[in-house]
């Protein structure tokens, strides 16, 4: 298999944007190509990570639209949909395209346009991934988070304040991310006093609804230097599924898709959790940061909350988590999020993260679809 490099990255401003999905995708795509000095007509493959452009906007077939808009005619295009882990699935697909030799230059662009819909409508679009039994009971992804958070706090005797600490930390990190939807610090009291959304979780336990796009450019490692001196190597990437019906899992506080995708990615990379210097975890809800932290092996089951409370996961801690601000403050344009996680790790590893910069040679991104229904984990290291 060919060793795979990422040689360029971009992300648009996240938040409430005027443009529609094709505008946002084109903005990120052209920025990524310009960042690397690559012409669009040199692309072999062009992938778009997107969950629901048809449902949100009535626009389908966006990869072909993007190819035409950016001058990549002739490239092979495909849409990668894995609900909210579409971006991570896109990283896996782009890696496969280069590793297999099918493509020598693949551009991955993730994007979603959501904010023109009401919160209820957007929640319903996302909830449409649930099983008919779950859907008829009015289950939403936030309500899964409430069910899980209550079980976690009860099972591991964890303090409610620990969840608030995740929000406080990720908001603090987001202040230094110029692309983030929210760039404001919050304190623990603000998080703990915010309105209940899915008991015991409150407003500040949830990421917002967001428009935005991000892109990554992939090629074989052995030609990466022809494009740039600063590249990262995809050391390992893997995906896995868990049950579709969430209540059929034996333990609500364990996400087996995270466990399996993490194990497979670490095995491929020849690395272990101790080797990771920085990680982007899918904090669509604060509780998810704990679950992934444990299920990827960064802490024993039931102990992630301690690392949140003692500063281990802060930017100046031993294992900084979500230096980008996470989904919580950066925003969560569904198909873009996994790609934007890759953007943050790329920037950290090539030393271009500015005020967010930490000391890192190995970075990990975990992107969660549904409520752990499908997961991809990617491990990146500084190019040799």
Partner 1 sequence: MSLDAGRCPNGHLSCPPHPRCPECGEPQSETVDLADETATVVTWTTSYATPPGVREPNTLAIVEFEAYDVRLLGQVDGDVEIGDTVEATYTEELRDPEAGIREPASQAWDGYRFSPS
Torsional sign, CA 12, 30, 365, 230: negative
Q: Is 252 in the site for partner 1 (CB under 8 A)?
A: yes
Q: Which stretch binds partner 1 (CB under 8 A): 241-249, 307-315, 341-349, 362-370?
A: 241-249
Indicate the residue among 136 and 274 with the shorter CB distance to partner 1.
136
Contact 92, 379 (CB under 8 A): no
Spell out, one character per residue from 316 to 355, where the chain touches partner 1: x when CB under 8 A holds, - when not: ----------------------------------------
Residue 239, beta-bridge partner list:
376
Shortest distance (Å) from residue 146 CB to partner 1: 3
Q: Is 247 in the site for partner 1 (CB under 8 A)?
A: yes
Could you say which of 199, 267, 310, 318 contacts partner 1 (CB under 8 A)? Answer: 199
Indicate the residue among 203 and 309 with the shorter CB distance to partner 1.
203
Could you say which of 7, 9, 72, 127 contacts partner 1 (CB under 8 A)? Answer: 127
Size of the site for partner 1 (CB under 8 A): 41
Which one, of 361, 107, 145, lies nearest residue 232 by Cα?
361
Indicate the residue among 123 and 357 with the shorter CB distance to partner 1.
123
Q: Is 125 in the site for partner 1 (CB under 8 A)?
A: yes
Contact 10, 39 (CB under 8 A): no
Indicate the residue among 62 and 246 with the shorter CB distance to partner 1.
246
Neighbours of 333 (CB within 10 A): 35
Indicate the residue among 74 and 138 with the shorter CB distance to partner 1.
138
Q: Which stretch binds partner 1 (CB under 8 A): 137-145, 254-262, 293-301, 321-329?
A: 137-145
CA–CA gap between residue 26 and residue 10 (Å, rounded): 11
82 phi and psi, to 5 degrees? -140, 45
Q: Which stretch binds partner 1 (CB under 8 A): 20-28, 102-110, 240-248, 348-356?
A: 240-248
Q: Is 256 in the site for partner 1 (CB under 8 A)?
A: no
Which one, of 260, 244, 324, 323, lies nearest residue 292 by Cα?
260
Within residues 29-68, the interface with partner 1 by CB under 8 A covers: 55
CA–CA gap between residue 1 and residue 153 (Å, rounded): 44
CA–CA gap between residue 224 and residue 222 (Å, rounded): 6
Shortest distance (Å) from residue 287 CB to partner 1: 11
Alpha-carbon Rg for the chain in angstroms: 19
DSSP 9-26: EEEPPPBS-SS-HHHHHH
Indicate the residue among 132 and 226 with the shorter CB distance to partner 1.
132
Neighbours of 161 (CB within 10 A): 14
Contact 199, 159 (CB under 8 A): no
CA–CA gap between residue 145 and residue 350 (Å, rounded): 34
Could you say which of 30, 35, 150, 312 contacts partner 1 (CB under 8 A)? Answer: 150
Indicate the residue among 121 and 275 with the shorter CB distance to partner 1.
121
Distances in Å between the alpha carbon of 154 and those of 35, 55, 276, 293, 345?
A: 48, 37, 30, 18, 34
Q: Which stretch binds partner 1 (CB under 8 A): 85-93, 145-153, 355-363, 365-373?
A: 145-153
Could you say which of 42, 102, 196, 223 contacts partner 1 (CB under 8 A)? Answer: 196
Indicate the residue among 76 and 135 with the shorter CB distance to partner 1.
135
Q: Is 279 in the site for partner 1 (CB under 8 A)?
A: no
Number of H helices, E strands in the chain: 15, 11
Element of type H or E holding 218: strand 212-220
Contact 315, 324 (CB under 8 A): no
Q: Which stretch binds partner 1 (CB under 8 A): 180-188, 195-203, 256-264, 303-311?
A: 195-203
Which residues of the shown chain bind partner 1 in the complex (CB under 8 A)? 55, 119-121, 123-125, 127-128, 131-140, 142-143, 146-151, 154, 195-201, 243, 245-248, 252
């Amino acid at each position: 298999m060919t060793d795979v490099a990422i040689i360029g990255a971009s992300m648009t401003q996240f938040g409430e944007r005027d443009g529609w999905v094709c505008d946002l995708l084109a903005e990120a795509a052209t920025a990524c190509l310009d960042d690397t000095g690559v012409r669009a007509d040199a692309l072999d493959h062009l992938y778009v990570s997107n969950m629901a452009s048809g449902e949100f906007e009535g626009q389908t077939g966006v990869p072909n639209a993007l190819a035409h808009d950016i001058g990549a005619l002739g490239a092979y295009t495909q849409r990668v949909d894995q609900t909210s882990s579409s971006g991570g699935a896109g990283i896996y697909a782009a890696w496969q395209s280069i590793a297999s030799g099918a493509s020598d230059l693949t551009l991955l662009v993730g994007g979603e346009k959501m904010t023109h819909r009401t919160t209820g409508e957007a929640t319903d679009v996302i909830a449409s991934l649930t099983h008919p039994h779950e859907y008829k009971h009015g289950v939403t992804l936030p309500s899964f988070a409430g069910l899980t958070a209550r079980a976690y706090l009860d099972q591991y005797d964890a303090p409610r304040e620990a969840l608030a600490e995740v929000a406080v930390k990720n908001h603090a990190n987001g202040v230094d991310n110029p692309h983030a939807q929210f760039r404001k610090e919050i304190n623990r009291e603000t998080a703990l006093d915010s309105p209940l959304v899915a008991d015991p979780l409150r407003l500040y336990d949830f990421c917002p609804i967001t428009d935005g796009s991000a892109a990554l450019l992939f090629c074989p490692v052995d030609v990466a230097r022809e494009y740039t001196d600063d590249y990262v190597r995809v050391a390992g990437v893997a995906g896995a599924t868990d049950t579709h019906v969430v209540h059929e899992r034996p333990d609500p506080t364990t996400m087996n898709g995270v466990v399996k995708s993490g194990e497979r990615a670490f095995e491929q990379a020849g690395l272990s959790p101790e080797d990771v210097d920085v990680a982007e975890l899918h904090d669509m809800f604060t509780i998810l940061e704990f679950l992934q932290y444990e299920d990827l092996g960064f802490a024993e089951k039931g102990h992630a909350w301690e690392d949140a409370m003692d500063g281990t996961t802060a930017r100046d801690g031993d294992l900084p988590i979500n230096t980008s601000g996470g989904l919580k403050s950066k925003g969560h344009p569904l198909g873009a999020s996994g790609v934007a996680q890759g953007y943050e790790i790329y920037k950290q590893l090539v030393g271009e993260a500015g005020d967010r910069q930490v000391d890192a040679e190995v970075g990990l991104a975990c992107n969660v679809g549904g409520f752990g229904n499908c997961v991809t984990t990617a491990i990146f290291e500084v190019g040799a």
